Structure 1
Amino acid sequence: MTQLVFHHNHQLLPPAKEGLLPVQLYGLSGQGRGDISFIGNPVIDKVRRLGVRIPSQVMDFLTIALAVTAADTFVRRSDSEDGWTRQFAMQLPLHEPYRWVPLKKELERVLHFLSGDMWDFEFLDGGHPPPVPYRRSDRFQLVRLRGLDSVCLFSGGLDSAIGTIDLLSRGRAPLLVSHAYKGDKTHQDQIAQALTGLYSRFKVNADPHLHTGETDITMRTRSLNFLAFAAVGACAVQAVSQQEEVDLFVPENGFISLNAPLTPRRVGTLSTRTTHPYFIESIQRIFESAQIPCRIINPYQFMTKGQMVVGCHDRQLLEGVVDSTVSCSHWKRSNQQCGICVPCIIRRAALHAGGISEDVGYAFDTVTDVLNETDRRDDLLALRIAVVQKATRKTGPWIADSGPLPAADFQNFQKVFIDGLDEVKAFLIFEGAL
């Protein structure tokens, strides 16, 4: 088990030792010690630029999410006993711990579902309070909130681009919330510059720094941090708009959201649950229990990526920004989309279904070229197997392998999964890969 001790005051952090990792939240003041890791240094300034004071419970949820991101980043799975499942003991000060102690078990259960790890929180007093907001008279550039009515996750991917275009086309006025990591930010900015309508941007970077050694790259909990940033933005929108509850849009196609294991061996390590319906439903319950006034909505839960492309409310705008969108799960390694990972193939199948051409320069422009690459072809082979098995394998148990699903919508979940496989099948046949 790895113990992680967090505090925003580095003087209150214990020395690092075997099995104990001290982490400073929201600052870099302890750099001189040399044994402290850091996360969230840019966050306080970004929150202050919203120009409103966010509620304490939202600040605490942000603190929890950053602590989870730190653990997920700083502790390598390869060092665990089974090479995957880590055990975390998290000592974390909150501004209002009494609100979160009753939710401790629920949080631990949700995070286990999300990451596959074992989590144990200890919530203490003394957490970082909501920061005092900047004022316009302070000469800081504030995020424009007046006139906004919602929040939308804005990753720079194809789904988030379509989701934003559709919202603006319907006359909604969203605050677009982004993880502003290096590389991602460039693509996000290119898409945003082409948008028309009333919207604003809230760009934040968790900015984790491990004091020594290599970090983990699986990042199964990344969506928790994304939702925490969005909750901060939503509460800022609520303060200005005076809404009782703010819509928080998570634009993700239903096939990827389910992310049912394509083959039996891909259960677990190869099946992420970042926007799985069960995870989203669980976070919504936590929001309600903690009195965080957000309503999480995925408008595309029962649509494939191709159906999103076909149904986009402004096809001309989508065609103009499609080359700026990024779907690849590996693109940061070479600053190029590979074209043959699962997200890339689903993207290409969707654009094929929607009749939209792109010019992004994939590492493998022709899908079949990867068949001779024994260390790169696993995703394509898994999709081919899934497409073939679709005719004989029972869909219900198949999609249930990725996690619990509400019975009332079970048929809709089955349909979007089958439709997604059909979309991939048509593309693979077109490419000569099936």
Structure 2
Amino acid sequence: MKLNCTTKTSSFSTDSDTLNVLLYGRTESTHFATVGAAIMDEIRRSRLVPSGKALDLLSIALSVICADLAGHRKASADGWTRTFELTIAVQDSSFWNEQADTLGRLLAFLTTDIWQFRFVDEGISLPSIENCQQPDEDCVSLLSGGLDSLVGNIDLVEQGYIPYAVTQTVRGDGYQQTTFAESIGNGLSQFKVNHNARVPNPETPSSQRARSIIFLTYGVLVATTLKRYQQEHRVPLFVCENGFISINPPLTPIRLGSLSTRTTHPVVFSIFQDILNAAGLRVDITNPYQHKTKGEMLRDCQNQEKLTELASQTTSCGRYLIHGHQHCGRCVPCLVRRAAFLVWNKDDSTTYKYTNLGIKNDEHAGYDDVRSALMAIQECHKLGTKRWLSSALSYPRIQQKDKIAHMIERGLEEVEALLNRYGAK
């Protein structure tokens, strides 16, 4: 699939096989894609001035999101692997063409697709902004509305950091996302945006495998506006997620491709960091909880009173919108969440659609994610953690593999305790 991503309709391709993408524009037309206009509005409203390379990175990430939404896996030769050829308008085409192969490797790891990039001049540049801001915060932290990012931001404040919260707004989560920012410490400054990507004939259900590139890019964008960054210092970008979900080991061999996402995988962070370093962007991505399970994150949170107040208001479910803004209780993120509350030994007032996982039908104990978890637990006991993990930790970029393997073992034990509680077999 070919995409031509530009800031001007006058630069659209006339090739009928190419999807034109208008970056930072709006239209009612159904003949081309649009993305990112609201982000530019928020940058201007906040009077922030990101660096040119950060804006280029934003254009790249938005283009990738459009491709991910527009590409149909069933139309590919093997029914899964898509091939994308993207031409993207940026400010510094020479630099980004040098990074094309690295970007391709990053996206291939994230999405299991084939990505090719070509960059041309004509990228977005900001007009002069009156009374531009250079925020005093000393770091940036993603605040999604999920339980892990809540713990992370609470801990950062308790450790003396002053984070600038970056949030991708999600329908049904907006109120909680704002509430969390207002409730942590003395209230966090918050950059709230949504890419609002709109493509003709999107794949359904929509793919979200490339989404971490836009989350990370939002963080980098804001980091380059901070006073600390403007004074030539490096800025930490905290992406807080428990290590079990970060590695997200395939629970069964058949889940290796389609059902094992890599949104916060350490390999993704490592390659992305290489790109930032090459671009001279002084932003350091870190996940402080890479070696902790979700239960350990809750148990060790440094402000238990605040976490107890807010924890049940967070969202973890992978099918939250499908179930009418309700946790399903049976997908892998829900299983990990419910197991973590047991470790924490606090009441979980979250409403789950499927509560009793021991009921022997296809909606409960027989549901795919529950069965996969049960099989993984059985195989882990049989083979041992390292053999069960197989190739999941084989990547050279993964550091401290023994420590991660032990963490995954503890994470699986947390899920096992949950399933045992309901007698799921």
1:25 lines up with 2:14 in the alignment: no
TM-score, length of structure 2 as denominator length: 0.94
Mapped partners of 1:125, 1:189: distance in 2: 37
Q: Name the residue aligned to 1:139.
A: none
1:209 lines up with 2:192 in the alignment: no
**Closer, same or farther: CA 370–210 of 1 in aligned 2, 3 Å:** farther
Could you tell me which of 73, 78, 85 is aligned with 2:81? 85
Q: Name the residue aligned to 1:126.
A: 122
AA in 1 matched with 2:263: T
Which stretch shifts more, 356-365 or 394-403? 394-403
Contact map agreement 1:159 1:251 (CA 8 A) in 2: yes
Contact map agreement 1:260 1:400 (CA 8 A) in 2: no
Report the 3-state secondary structure (helix = DSSP H, G, I; strand = E; otherwise coil) of the residue aligned with 1:332. coil
1:83 deviation in Å? 2.0
Mapped partners of 2:19, 2:341: distance in 1: 45
**Closer, same or farther: CA 198–321 of 1 in aligned 2, 3 Å:** closer
Could you tell me which of 327, 350, 353 is aligned with 1:360? 350
AA in 2 matched with 1:148: E
Contact map agreement 1:190 1:324 (CA 8 A) in 2: no
AA in 2 matched with 1:271: S
Q: Deviations over 1:370-407 (max 9, x none)?
A: 74438970000111111111122243354353361546
Could you tell me which of 416, 419, 427 is aligned with 2:410? 419
**Closer, same or farther: CA 125–302 of 1 in aligned 2, 3 Å:** same
Which stretch shifts more, 225-234 or 198-207? 198-207
Could you tell me which of 425, 430, 434 is aligned with 2:421? 430
Q: Deviations over 1:80-112 (max 9, x none)?
A: 222211110101111111111111101101110
**Closer, same or farther: CA 397–39 of 1 in aligned 2, 3 Å:** farther
AA in 1 matched with 2:417: A
Mapped partners of 2:346, 2:52: distance in 1: 45
1:199 lines up with 2:205 in the alignment: no
AA in 2 matched with 1:425: E
**Closer, same or farther: CA 332–359 of 1 in aligned 2, 3 Å:** same
Mapped partners of 2:156, 2:273: distance in 1: 21
1:132 deviation in Å? 3.3
**Closer, same or farther: CA 191–199 of 1 in aligned 2, 3 Å:** closer
Contact map agreement 1:108 1:118 (CA 8 A) in 2: yes
1:228 deviation in Å? 0.4
Contact map agreement 2:365 2:424 (CA 8 A) in 1: no
Mapped partners of 2:399, 2:3: distance in 1: 40
Mapped partners of 1:369, 1:135: distance in 2: 61
Contact map agreement 1:72 1:216 (CA 8 A) in 2: no
Alignment of 1:239-388 (within 5 A): 242=231, 244-333=233-322, 334-369=324-359, 371-373=361-363, 377-388=367-378
User: Alignment RMSD, CA only?
Assistant: 2.0
Mapped partners of 1:242, 1:280: distance in 2: 25
**Closer, same or farther: CA 207–400 of 1 in aligned 2, 3 Å:** farther
Report the 3-state secondary structure (helix = DSSP H, G, I; strand = E; otherwise coil) of the residue aligned with 1:84. coil
AA in 2 matched with 1:332: L
Mapped partners of 1:210, 1:94: distance in 2: 21
Mapped partners of 2:315, 2:83: distance in 1: 33
**Closer, same or farther: CA 131–397 of 1 in aligned 2, 3 Å:** farther
**Closer, same or farther: CA 195–213 of 1 in aligned 2, 3 Å:** closer
Mapped partners of 1:62, 1:146: distance in 2: 20
1:363 deviation in Å? 0.6
Contact map agreement 2:358 2:365 (CA 8 A) in 1: no
Q: Name the residue aligned to 1:66.
A: 62
AA in 2 matched with 1:163: G
Could you tell me which of 112, 116, 124 is aligned with 1:116? 112
Q: Name the residue aligned to 1:11.
A: 10
AA in 2 matched with 1:207: N
Mapped partners of 1:267, 1:410: distance in 2: 19
Identical positions, percent: 33
**Closer, same or farther: CA 115–407 of 1 in aligned 2, 3 Å:** closer
**Closer, same or farther: CA 189–393 of 1 in aligned 2, 3 Å:** same
AA in 1 matched with 2:420: I
**Closer, same or farther: CA 376–287 of 1 in aligned 2, 3 Å:** farther
**Closer, same or farther: CA 121–372 of 1 in aligned 2, 3 Å:** closer
1:55 deviation in Å? 1.3
Q: Name the residue aligned to 1:189.
A: 178
**Closer, same or farther: CA 184–275 of 1 in aligned 2, 3 Å:** same
